[in-house]
Structure 1
Amino acid sequence: MKIRTILVEDNPKIRESLGILLKSNFDDIEIIGEAEGVEDGEEIIKSLEPDFVIFDIDIINGTSFDILTNLKSKGGVAFKFIFLTAHSNTENTIKAIKYSANDFLVKPLDEAMLKDSVSVIIESIKQKQDQNHKLDLLLELLENPSNLNQRIGVQTAKGQIQNVILKDVIYLKSDGILTIFKFNNGSELKGFKNIGFYADNLCRDYDFIQVHQSILVNLNYLKTFTPATKKVLLVNGTELEASRNGTKVLKEYLMGFSPSRLKLGFMKDLLVKLRI
């Protein structure tokens, strides 16, 4: 089975090098067309009906999101896609792609990462997994950046995308190559990414902290922390154990409070939460 592929990139040299990398690494990939802007990109996709499209974000006369929005309004998107990003792309754009569980590659291209990402796409095509839910979430996050601080798309082992409201997540726990999300209603969800992926994102952009190599905690659900025993008690009664490094990080975080943190409501009762 050939994966009929289109490249949408306004830089001819990058298109050429990308084509060479794809052909040298994947017998399944067949490049059936190329485009450099919004108009010719939309036209060639509608005309050739590809299985897979690689989009540069910033292209002639707009962005690849313009193409996807137009195609969606005219009947939907039946192909798989990944994005190429550059340092010039805004932080919110990168977050929207990442938190909608869509894949992206950073330029200059890394061959190993390209192989990993395209391999996942090929497998999803063979399994006929739908990417429209990812696209819906991506376009919504791009249109409403304030939602970036509220939810993310989590891909399950079955290839489905679950819309996760972050304020409902108490903690995350590693389960091999998967990650288990524990919610405040007692339910759980297995995400098809290792906990390192979520640690990189949630600890930087949200109210989460890594207390152990295998555990991320939502600080809004922290009840008490006892450094002497490394015990982390959550408001629902769950007791977790921090690692030595996690104990250090959490203690430093709690002790290093500031008015801005208190304003955000992280640590209203600091002396109660931190039992020394």
Structure 2
Amino acid sequence: MIQINVGIVEDTLEYIETLKFLIADLDKGINVIATASTMEEARVLLTNPDIQLAFLDIQLKRGTIFDVLEELLNKGASLPEIIFVTAHGSFEFATKAIKYACLDFITKPVSSDHLLEAIERFIRKENTKMNNSQVHFLLKLLKGNMHSPKSLGVILPRGVVEFIDLNDILYFQSDSNISKLKMKNQHVKLSTKNLGYYIDLLQGNPNFIQISKQCLVNTNHIKKYNHRDKSLLLSNQEALIASHRFNRHLKKELLNKNSSNSLLSDLLSLFKN
């Protein structure tokens, strides 16, 4: 049986005991070797070289875990793998940033099933040492504008995380339980996340719109759109077809785009016909 050394950062002692009980009950060879309930203790725990995986509560006394992570990264510390633990409905801004950075999280109250799934995701990773660049990316997002981030992390096969400029993506396309990302340089990247994940993640981003059950398109790369035959011509001269279900919404959203966008001169002439 694989042995995993775990640390828990949680400002409520009662919840530390609850999480320790749930972990022990899994009987997966997981050993809780350290706990922390303050920022000072969290700094020590996260720099313990024996800890492979740390469960991190976001809110701590006198600050957040993000303050601790930033301080440690600035000192050049190498962090263990991280799973954030968030209360349902709280820190939604941070939760979205965590997803953009391809970091893992579970929601309180933590169930045994969700805890087991998180542990199994950790075990399945070919490289179980998290890249500090993911935390750097997360902290940068939290300081910036999460309403319109310019890039996101994509989990490629074998657990590799690549940070991609959103404007370099022409569209996301469903391929069974994974997604294909068609890039403006004509390359195709495979993500282990399904299309529904990206539809949810990019909800509210004005530059991405779903045109069918299988496709999410970057509107910045739509050069022509014919609402009659539901066809779209992209900047790479590739043609896509919108489904009947999504066509009306697509037309409305494209018309609502600001007149300064490069789309509009081509699009409006088609709408008026």
TM normalised by structure 1 equals 0.86
In structure 2, what is the Cα distance between the partners aligned to 1:67 and 1:13? 22
Rate the CA distance shift 1:163–1:111 in 2: closer, same or farther, 3 A: same
Contact kept? 1:172, 1:181, Cα under 8 Å = yes
Q: Give a deviation string over 1:165-193, Cα, whole Å, max 9, x none.
A: 01111111122222111121222221221
Rate the CA distance shift 1:231–1:29 in 2: closer, same or farther, 3 A: same
Question: 2:102 matched to which residue of 1?
Answer: 101
Q: Partner of 1:211: helix, strand, or coil?
A: strand
Q: Partner of 2:16: helix, strand, or coil?
A: helix
Question: 2:11 matched to which residue of 1?
Answer: 10
In structure 2, what is the Cα distance between the partners aligned to 1:273 and 1:228? 9
Letter of the 1:262 partner, please give it: N
Question: 2:22 matched to which residue of 1?
Answer: 21
Rate the CA distance shift 1:130–1:186 in 2: closer, same or farther, 3 A: same
1:73 Cα deviation (Å)? Answer: 3.3
Q: Give a deviation string over 1:121-158, Cα, whole Å, max 9, x none.
A: 1222x644433221221122233447952011111112
Contact kept? 2:226, 2:271, Cα under 8 Å = yes
In structure 2, what is the Cα distance between the partners aligned to 1:273 and 1:32? 65
Question: 2:57 matched to which residue of 1?
Answer: 56
Contact kept? 2:208, 2:216, Cα under 8 Å = yes
* Alignment pair present for 1:268 and 2:270: no
Question: 2:171 matched to which residue of 1?
Answer: 171
> Superposition pairs for residues 12-91 of structure 1, below 5 Å?
12-47=13-48, 49-86=50-87, 87-89=89-91, 91=93
Rate the CA distance shift 1:51–1:190 in 2: closer, same or farther, 3 A: same
* Alignment pair present for 1:156 and 2:156: yes
Rate the CA distance shift 1:25–1:146 in 2: closer, same or farther, 3 A: closer
1:74 Cα deviation (Å)? Answer: 3.5
In structure 1, what is the Cα distance between the partners aligned to 2:233 and 2:187? 19
TM normalised by structure 2 equals 0.87
Bigger CA drift: 191-200 or 203-212?
A: 203-212
1:48 Cα deviation (Å)? Answer: 6.3
In structure 2, what is the Cα distance between the partners aligned to 1:113 and 1:2? 20
Q: Unmatched 5+ residue regions in structure 1?
A: none
Question: 2:243 matched to which residue of 1?
Answer: 243
Q: Partner of 2:204: helix, strand, or coil?
A: helix
* Alignment pair present for 1:187 and 2:187: yes
Q: Unmatched 5+ residue regions in structure 2?
A: none
Question: 1:209 matched to which residue of 2?
Answer: 209
In structure 1, what is the Cα distance between the partners aligned to 2:139 and 2:194? 25
Contact kept? 1:141, 1:147, Cα under 8 Å = no
Q: Partner of 2:8: helix, strand, or coil?
A: strand
Contact kept? 2:80, 2:129, Cα under 8 Å = no
In structure 2, what is the Cα distance between the partners aligned to 1:130 and 1:89? 23
Give the aligned CA root-mean-square deviation in angstroms: 2.5
1:55 Cα deviation (Å)? Answer: 0.3
Rate the CA distance shift 1:146–1:167 in 2: closer, same or farther, 3 A: same
